[in-house]
Amino acid sequence: MGHATSLSHFLILSSSRFSRLGSLTRLLSKPTSLSGSFSSISVTGQGFRCCCSVATDDTSPSVKKRVVSGVQPTGSVHLGNYLGAIKNWVALQDTYETLFIIVDHHAITLPYDTRQLGKATTDTAALYLACGIDVSKASVFVQSHVPAHVELMWLLCSSTPIGWLQKMIQFKEKSRKEGVENASVGLFTYPDLMTADILLYQSDFVPVGEDQKQHIELAREIAQRVNHLYGGKKWKKLGGYEIFRGGSLFKIPEPLIPQAGARVMSLTDGLSKMSKSAPSDQSRINLLDSKDLIVDKIKRCKTDSFAGLEFDNAERPECNNLLSIYQIVSGKKKEEVMEECKDMSWGTFKPLLADALIEHLSPIQARYQEIIAEPEYLDKILSEGADRAEELGAVTMRNMYQAMGYYQRRRY
């Protein structure tokens, strides 16, 4: 989760779990044809690629599948967060039951400014709404306002082999920056918290970027492991059993990968993901950047010396990134952008891209200012979202404590 895979058969897991990542990647690379309402989803004409068999335990046509996703409240929300996650959420909320989380627990796994965390949290929530999240259709809440996230994380940590976490690429990358000896335990167990965010709400789908595929595979395998260790007949002997899921404690979540905008790259390096943690602000477009600043960043962004513009040339990562951004913010199809821009120079294209970004972001910025000016309105939305999340999560936690053999509190 900006700081959110189908293995159809039940698996008993071993320390060689990531040997299956190759088959997972092959699966994720192929779109699956779906029947029903899901196949009608689209984002700026591109659609979503779902790598799953859409089997469900909820047979009623009135029951929507559930989608859960979140973004960290660290730094400013940037174009990569928006195009890679939040913009796609807007397209999902009409078709799915959606829960969108400001994942503040994740934000403290690396050094941070305690004076800014609260403001960054409300700013992120306001931007969710300004970008089009409709609270009549979706629940928006703060992760730390629902204690069950951390409770479930601990239960999952107790069932997750250390070897699985040691294989996680993001831990290796981020701990290298801090120094392995100085990296926090929270950074190491971050994937278990992300898994708890997903499994707590019995999520059907999780929108993820290409760089999050390893995390969603881990979430799936932890769910399968817990189902094997504590579900089925073992759980039934303790007095519980979810008949509609065959005794499983968790649904196995499926990844939902947008075909466009899944990974927006840095403006200073087309091979690196646009990131809040990058030291240079020049590397990203923040959603609240002024018009002049957007023009300046696009003017100074890294390009190349090739003639013309083109998608999908491995030798021109910056060109592919900038064209992809233009494609999404302009709402045009890839073929239309190729035809429009193929003979352009960078001097012609950069102002075009800057204007498209400004036109796209200006309504978001205006709506953000309206929302942030009404703190009571925002607090009410976040409180109601947390109430809904607690209601859903309580069922999962009750089942988990029962299946794991905990002595349950008697209330008088």
Q: Which residue has the tokens 């949290």?
A: 121
174 is catalytic: yes
Q: What are phi and psi of 120, to 5 degrees?
A: -65, -35
- Non-local (6+) Cβ contacts of 311 within 8 A are 319, 320, 323, 324, 334, 337, 338
Judge whether 315 and 285 are in contact, CB under 8 Å.
Answer: no
Structure tokens at 103: 């994942």
Buried b (16+ CB within 10 A) or exposed e, 284-316: bbbbbbeeeebbebbeebbbeeeeebebeeeeb
Distance CA 130, CA 124 (A): 10
- Non-local (6+) Cβ contacts of 287 within 8 A are 76, 77, 78, 79, 81, 82, 127, 131, 361, 364, 365, 368
Among 276, 297, 332, 334, the one annotated catalytic: 276
Neighbour count for residue 229 (Cβ, 10 Å): 17
Distance CA 282, CA 272 (A): 13
Distance CA 139, CA 137 (A): 7
Among 273, 291, 302, 333, the one annotated catalytic: 273
Structure tokens at 403: 């299946």
* Rg value, the chain, Cα: 22
167 is catalytic: no
Among 65, 87, 174, 350, the one annotated catalytic: 174
Q: Is 408 helix (H, G, I), strand (E, B) or coil?
A: coil
- Cα distances from 118 to residues 84, 85, 168, 408, in angstroms, run 24, 22, 29, 34
Cβ burial of 202 (10 Å; 0-12, 13-18, 19+) is buried
276 is catalytic: yes
Q: Given its phi and psi angles, is residue 404 left (phi above 0), alpha (psi -120 to 50 degrees) or beta?
A: alpha
- Non-local (6+) Cβ contacts of 61 within 8 A are none
Judge whether 260 and 43 are in contact, CB under 8 Å.
Answer: yes
CA dihedral 52, 391, 94, 83 (to 10 degrees): -70
Catalytic annotation, residues: 174, 273, 276
